[in-house]
Chains A and B, each alone.
Chain A
Amino acid sequence: MQGQPLLAVRDVSVVFGGIVALNNVSFDLRQGNILGLIGPNGAGKTTLFNCLSRLYQPSKGDILVDGASILSRPAHKICDVGIGRTFQNVALFPNLSVADNIRVGAHSHTKSDIVSDALHLPWTRRQEHTLNERVDEIIAYLDLQAVQDQLVSGLPFGTQKRVELARALAAEPKILLLDEPAGGLNHEEVHVLGDLIRRIRDDRKITVLLVEHHMGLVMSIADHVVALNFGSKLAEGTPAQVQSNPDVIKAYLGSKDQ
């Protein structure tokens, strides 16, 4: 019915000294979709993200982007296949300004060498100029103008999360991995975030893989949902299907944090 998926996770397993963090997990992510990845704490969601961004090596299985395996790429070459991400606990560069954090996000889209940079050769200046235009656009898009010259370390958590999103967008990813973007946000902010994620998908043609604890958010914006529990896939389908799946209900009722 549909062609090749943008991202294919095939029988991926990850073992940490006896703990099976992921167990034969498979699913497809289709171009233009928002896929919600849910599951109780410790289900293996972040571990899967870390496999996708090549921070962990699966002990088994394969991960394909546009049909090609990414498992032989080093972590710093993963933006080249169009995967960008945010981190569950925010991993910004605290001693850099908001704008510089976003500039680093575009590292893979720019090039330079230390000699040209030290001499500020004209071509590097032109590149910086283009980069600054792109950074300004993202800063405006995410409403960060007021803080753009401030150090990240002094900003409130919610703002830091937006900066991290901005940094990920600067790499112009095809696939955006968001690890619990609603963590620490209040009800109102979660609503705004939901709209923002949808806008990012629609305006920027970015496919989204969303890990989220906040069921309301996932159910309202996801096209497709995959539920994990103890490293295994529990259910998959539309939000309504997954929400009414008896195993999913049991897993969630069994865990204290939902």
Chain B
Amino acid sequence: MSTAQDTSADIAGTRPAAGKSILTVPLVASLATLGLLIVVPLFLKNFVVFQLTMIVIYAIAILSLNILTGASGQVSLGHSAFFAVGAYATGIMMEHANVPYLLAIPIAGVICFVIGFLFGFPALRLKGVYLALATFALAVAAPPLFKLGTFEHWTGGVQGLLVTKPEPPFGLDISQDRYVYYLSLTIALIIYLLSVNLLNSRSGRALMAIRDNEIAASSMGVDLALYKTLAFGISAGFTGIAGALGAITVAYVAPDAYTFNFAIALFLGMVIGGVGWLPGSLAGAAFIVFVPNIAEGISKGLSYAVFGVFIFAVIFLLPNGARQLAYYLYAQIKKLVSRF
């Protein structure tokens, strides 16, 4: 978390350096990435667009985890549960109550915000590995609850729930897959901007102060309980929105899609992207979607072993993940520019 010594505490990766033009390297890089995300899917097959959609959705969930862990210092190995609640809430609202998907998505976010906020209270008493275990319990408890016969009418039990994939509005002549992709990208962009704003504000500084030193933070007037529970709420709320988008993208909600493995994958994505660095969430999401496929391409039988080697290589070479790579490239570009 600390190789970027000279970069200040720029968790959002967006603050322009003092005295420079506003067209900074990070800004140009962000806009270029966004440009690619908008243009490239126009030329891709529907299946690849679907995969890209999943990357964007996972990036939202990883970014949410980053707000909790990277900013407020609370570890979660249970974000699959919030994702699942978002997905089920959306599926149930759409299929049982005919709620339009554009309404169901934010409602799912609010439901998860409330659940996360409430979970934040018992979490106040837990630190480090104990909090990791408590959230782990959440992750293992969720799938069996969704399978439970009592709720079967709503959740579809072990069968899961089919969800209607939305049609493009206004008679737009694009495929459903592309429409869902651009919808997800728009929502991801909004969540990203809100998060950057949040972390660059009084609330964000309070969260990071808590992460760095709770006693000093409370002596400065920071209400630990308030901010730590809010961090849980915000993180769960955004993850719930990711879950909602996941439900309409896959058009199916099934309990076994949200196991503990998925929670670990999100955690892995956060580490690969760089803990505490929001732009890294996209790189982390790409890693957890593509690298298992690549590993399977190398060896079907040993795909997990190959995947493990990939993880090991990244953590060994880039302990601070994509963030480290980005800062390295940034330094190289600055050197190059200063020569002219």
Interface of B is mostly: helix
How far, in whole Å, are A119 and B193 apart by their CA atoms in the complex? 9
Contact with B along A169-184 (1 / 0, CB 8 A): 0010000000000000
Which residue in B5, B197, B212, B219 is a CB contact (below 8 Å) of A53? B219
A217 on the interface (CB 8 Å rule)? Answer: no
Residue contact A91 to B197, C-beta cutoff 8 Å: no
Residue contact A76 to B230, C-beta cutoff 8 Å: no
Residue contact B213 to A120, C-beta cutoff 8 Å: no
Given known contacts A95-B1, A95-B208, A151-B9, A124 and B221 CB-to-CB distance under 8 angstroms? no
A105 on the interface (CB 8 Å rule)? Answer: yes
B311 on the interface (CB 8 Å rule)? Answer: no
- CB-defined contacts of B217 to chain A, threshold 8 Å: 93, 104
Residue contact B220 to A107, C-beta cutoff 8 Å: yes
Residue contact A95 to B222, C-beta cutoff 8 Å: no
How far, in whole Å, are A97 and B212 apart by their CA atoms in the complex? 12
B216 on the interface (CB 8 Å rule)? Answer: yes
Contact with A along B165-202 (1 / 0, CB 8 A): 00000000000000000000000000000110110011
Given known contacts A95-B208, A110-B202, A104 and B220 CB-to-CB distance under 8 angstroms? yes
- CB-defined contacts of A167 to chain B, threshold 8 Å: 220
Residue in B9, B208, B276 with the greatest tally of chain A CB atoms within 10 Å? B9
- CB-defined contacts of B18 to chain A, threshold 8 Å: 149
Identify which of residues 9-48 in chain A touch chain B, using a CB-to-CB cut-off of 8 Å: none
What is the CB-to-nearest-CB distance from B119 to chain A, in angstroms, rounded to a whole number? 17
Contact with B along A190-218 (1 / 0, CB 8 A): 00000000000000000000000000000
Contact with A along B213-253 (1 / 0, CB 8 A): 10111111111100000100010000000000000000000
- CB-defined contacts of B1 to chain A, threshold 8 Å: 95
- CB-defined contacts of B5 to chain A, threshold 8 Å: 150-151, 153-154
Residue contact A114 to B222, C-beta cutoff 8 Å: no
Given known contacts A100-B9, A117-B198, A76 and B208 CB-to-CB distance under 8 angstroms? no
Residue contact A107 to B221, C-beta cutoff 8 Å: yes
Residue of A whose beta carbon sits closest to that of B213: A91
Residue contact A79 to B201, C-beta cutoff 8 Å: no
The 5 A-B pairs with the shortest beta carbon distances in the complex, nearest first, are A108-B221, A117-B201, A93-B212, A91-B216, A118-B194
